[in-house]
Amino acid sequence: MSDYSIAFISNEAVTRSYANELLTEKWLGSFKVASSINSKRLENFKIDLCLIDTSKNFESFNDLNDFCKNTGMKKIIIFHSENNLDKLKRHLKNQKDIIIFRKVERISSREFFKNQLSEIIKVFNPSSQQSFMDLGKVENSISYDLILLGASTGGPEALKQIIGELKPNMPPILLVLHMQPEFMVRYCERLQRITKLKVKRFIGHEKVVPNSIYIADGLNHMEISKTGSDYFLNRGTDEKVKGHCPSVDVLFNSAARIKKSNLLAILLTGMGSDGAEGLNSLKNSGAFTVTQNQETSEVYGMPKAALEIGAANCVLSLEQITKILSLQEN
């Protein structure tokens, strides 16, 4: 990974200037900063990660698909405005597996791209021990107050793999799984047989405690709040959100409203998009967010939806997620 290369493309001179400044200071691999995807500066330059700013006056939509298809890039992050995402997706045919879309937030361009580039450098820099997994190892040194999990199709087996490896002295774990209520009791019993943590089917208001896994019961939404230094689960409504009750989004959004908390949120395999918006809210509130990768997801719906809106700090395999959580300590 020592030769891992990055290209930053923007037709905004000011944006290019501070991107070049930040990459020069902190990026240890090779990089190029260019004004266009057709720039001669990019000729014969092998690009592993490409960052493309399309948020202002971008005019190369017709060339974008060929550029993304033919350069052999491993990952592309496209920064878009509030109004041009649909147009981008129409032009980027069959390229979605390697593309992450990130909306340019309504703060100063300098502040936005400084934050984005700092995060990207942290993840991809050759000095960052090579991969998304190593970023997970770094973040693992944080003592999290809560761990939040969301899953749907493929989730029961994925969660068995994760939970079976967890050791005592864990922070509280909150889990929303799309499963019919009549199967939930038996599933909780199955999980209890493979872990020393206490598996609890959430049925009402209660304080969460370490070494416990709280699973939404399938009848009502599960929400989390904080009073003083204590966290409490609260029973929500039974109205479906995005076709689901319980909903991952409901849990994640409730957690995002909590101030001054260290939270780890993970969105696992599943059909649809439940959890994507909530994961994005958590990321914006300061939580560390993870999605399961495509290769180990039974259905790559929910994690993919989260990636497309830039909701994940990193993407990990199920094995890597399991390793991160098995190393956690309360």
Domain residue extents for the chain = 6-128, 136-326
Average pLDDT, the chain: 84
Gap between the Cα atoms of 246 and 137, Å rounded: 31
Residue 316 has pLDDT above 60, yes or no: yes
What mean pLDDT is predicted for residues 2-18?
83
- Alpha-carbon distance values, 136 to 88, 147, 186, 280, 283 (Å): 30, 14, 32, 18, 15
91 is catalytic: no
Residue 96 has pLDDT above 70, yes or no: no
CB 235 within 8 A of CB 204: yes
Q: Which fold has domain 6-128?
A: Rossmann fold (3.40.50)
Same fold across 6-128 and 136-326: yes
What mean pLDDT is predicted for residues 86-98?
72
272's CB contacts (< 8 A; 6+ apart) are 152, 242, 243, 244, 301, 302, 305
143 is catalytic: no
Helix/strand/coil for 73 = coil
Q: What phi and psi values does residue 149 have, to the nearest 5 degrees?
A: -125, 140
What mean pLDDT is predicted for residues 37-63?
85
Residue 181 has pLDDT above 70, yes or no: yes
- Catalytic position from the list 152, 247, 254, 281: 152
211's CB contacts (< 8 A; 6+ apart) are 168, 169, 170, 196, 197, 198, 330
- Alpha-carbon distance values, 58 to 148, 170, 225 (Å): 38, 48, 43
- Catalytic position from the list 178, 221, 244, 281: 178
39 is catalytic: no
What percent of the chain stands above pLDDT 90? Answer: 42
Looking at domain 136-326, its CATH class is alpha beta
